[in-house]
Structure 1
Amino acid sequence: MDLDAVRTFVVVADAGQFREAANELSITQQAVSKRVAALEKDLGVRLFTRTARGARLTIDGQAFRPYARALLQAEERAAASVRPGRRALRVDVIGRRLAPAGLLRDFHGAHPCVELDVVTLFDADAAIAAVRSGTIDASFRAVTVPVRQLPEGVEATRVHDEPLQLLTGPGHVLADTRQMTLRQLVGHRIWMPGIVAGTEWAAYYDELAAEFGLTIDPLGPNFGIEPLLDTIADSSTLATIVGEQTRLVWPAGYDLRRIPVHDPTPVYPHSLIWRADNTHPALTALRDHLGSALSDHAAAGTWTPRWAQH
């Protein structure tokens, strides 16, 4: 349906005259008549009765009028949904309990008027494809390739390095250790059933394990974080690795221990990925916010994979 014709119908109905409608729309009276005639032909009914005093709605015109207004309102809402500054900023995070979600919460706290649409895609490949296609505005991910090798028009910058910690139950041999080195973890089974081969986080932990001789076990069904915590709490041999900013809640009786790792401290490199020609003003605000809080990823005493040192 021609929305210009619908708009013309509404203006004529409100004005009661074709001439006044033409003046309001800044078109000729002939153009107003043609639009209304085309709409009447499309609908197969007469919408107005022409009289010496102007135009009077027919019964069909009266029935159509509220729906015509609804069509125009829907048009305005549709346009507003993609109008710069009006559409929600759509951002992908690797997990809603992990550090990138915390960064996004901090941004929203600093910019409460910015509407956010938070999604969780599977991995960096899916996120980069979504950024490139415009399905999302940005993504927080580890980027395992040099920026120059990203698809044309896609950019990324390192925004946060998250220190990793060992998580154990109270009966684990390392449970009472206040801090440890990566070398002290050699020979201990680190259970991480959420690792999926081919993903960016698998690439990170594969290199971590290879460089320090760690036993990182991804086997077993991944039932989610709560069953993982259940198992760790009851085990004297299993531990897992979590991010320092990962939000975890467990029953008090579990008495789980988060143990910092030093010499070096393994840090997970989170980057922001976006499309260079994206003009959403909230994306600019997000990049500025993250830039002001950028951690020093070259800090001494930390470890990242070789692919994160581009």
Structure 2
Amino acid sequence: MRSFVRAAELGQLQHTADELGVTQQAISKRIAALERELEVRLFTRTARGVELTLDGQAFLPHARTIVAGVDRAVTAVRPGSRALRIDVLGLRSAQAVVLHDYWRSHPETDLDVVTLRVNDPQVAAAAVQAGDVDASFRTVVDPATLPRDVQMIRAFDSPLELLVGPRHPLASARTLTPSQLRKLRIWVPGIVPRSEWAEFYDQLASAFDLRIDATGPNFGNEVLLDALADSADMATLVGARDRYIWPANHDLRRIPIVNPTLAYPLSLMFPSTNPHPGLRAIIDHLATLAPLPEPAWLPSWATPRGSAHRGGH
């Protein structure tokens, strides 16, 4: 199956043989055996090499899935032989920033930072369980629903800041309290039902009587930042560690929120058994991050930092 997939991708049996460390005759025999088993022709020979038949084109995506599944099965029992693969919500998110800071101090770490691009944390938990990623910075709000053999710890907390344009009435403030945010239009596009941040903003709005506006389509951070720069009454909430980049003429202001500090708790999910050996150093690094300024507010589902929940309930 692997010989078929690589021959389809490379278009040359000799190149396939060289890559897999066998002879061209061996590759031809493997493909011929596969064609006999399937009772179809997978390739036609051309002057340039080989090309897939219609049956070969139909078979290729399934063959790729099978080969990838075998590779995942092998690496699942040899996690130290590959890069540590961690899912983050976005490459400018606090999770990615913290991982980048760790990697800069430990450049020898073989780290693969990915974004699964899913909103439901249960989907991310399933990816951890399946071995698609070694860990994911997502939170399953009800730990009792964690998949079997998946563990979740509270990783670190992200203090919130109010982000406003230069014409906003609070633009000159050095700090703000939650009571000063009441009646403001706080626009947070992209609050998706069943996401952990939907639960977070529901609790935040209820606790401090805030007006969280999630209406309208989410066109991305650049459009949000443009809107803030042009508005005299719009604001949004961002994490203190989140990385945002805007043109200098936007003159946006990030204002810390204090008394209490409002914070988004970030969790890390990973396998309960046989986790990647490189993960322990990451977890130890997370434990060294500065604690929240007191007093602090966190949603009801935030556990003490470093405490663990295991799946399988």
Which residue of structure 1 aligns with residue 141 of structure 2? 144
Match of 1:308 among 293, 298, 302: 302
* TM-score, length basis structure 1: 0.70
Q: How do 1:79-228 residues align onto structure 2 when only pairs under 5 Å count? A: 82=75, 83-121=78-116, 122-123=118-119, 124-146=121-143, 148-228=144-224
Between the aligned residues of both structures, percent identity stands at 50
**Deviation, structure 1 residue 282:** 1.1
Residue type of the alignment partner of 2:123: A
Which residue of structure 2 aligns with residue 243 of structure 1? 239
- Counterpart of 1:102 in 2: which secondary structure? helix
Say if 1:207 and 1:305, in contact at 8 Å, map to a contact too: yes
Say if 2:167 and 2:231, in contact at 8 Å, map to a contact too: yes
**Deviation, structure 1 residue 296:** 3.7
Say if 1:153 and 1:276, in contact at 8 Å, map to a contact too: yes
Q: Following the alignment from structure 2 to structure 1, what is the Cα–Cα distance between the partners of residues 202 and 176?
A: 20
Which residue of structure 1 aligns with residue 42 of structure 2? none
CA spacing shift, 1:305–1:134, aligned 2, 3 Å: same
- Counterpart of 2:173 in 1: which secondary structure? coil
Provide the aligned length of Structure 1 versus Structure 2: 239
Say if 1:159 and 1:294, in contact at 8 Å, map to a contact too: no
Residue type of the alignment partner of 2:297: W
Q: Following the alignment from structure 2 to structure 1, what is the Cα–Cα distance between the partners of residues 134 and 175?
A: 39
Gaps of 5+ in 2: 4-25, 31-70, 305-313
Residue deviations 1:161-205 (CA, integer Å, cap 9, x gap): 110000000111111111111111111100011211210011101
Residue type of the alignment partner of 1:150: L
When the two chains are superposed, the root-mean-square deviation of aligned CA atoms in Å is: 2.8
Q: Following the alignment from structure 1 to structure 2, what is the Cα–Cα distance between the partners of residues 99 and 230?
A: 21
CA spacing shift, 1:309–1:115, aligned 2, 3 Å: closer
Larger C-alpha radius of gyration, 1 or 2? 1
Is structure 2 residue 258 aligned with structure 1 residue 262?
yes
Residue deviations 1:65-124 (CA, integer Å, cap 9, x gap): xxxxxxxxxxxxx79x83432211111001111110011112222332222222212232
Q: Following the alignment from structure 1 to structure 2, what is the Cα–Cα distance between the partners of residues 169 and 266?
A: 21
Say if 1:266 and 1:302, in contact at 8 Å, map to a contact too: yes
Residue type of the alignment partner of 1:243: G
The structure 1 segments of at least 4 consecutive aligned residues displaced by more than 6 Å after TM superposition are none
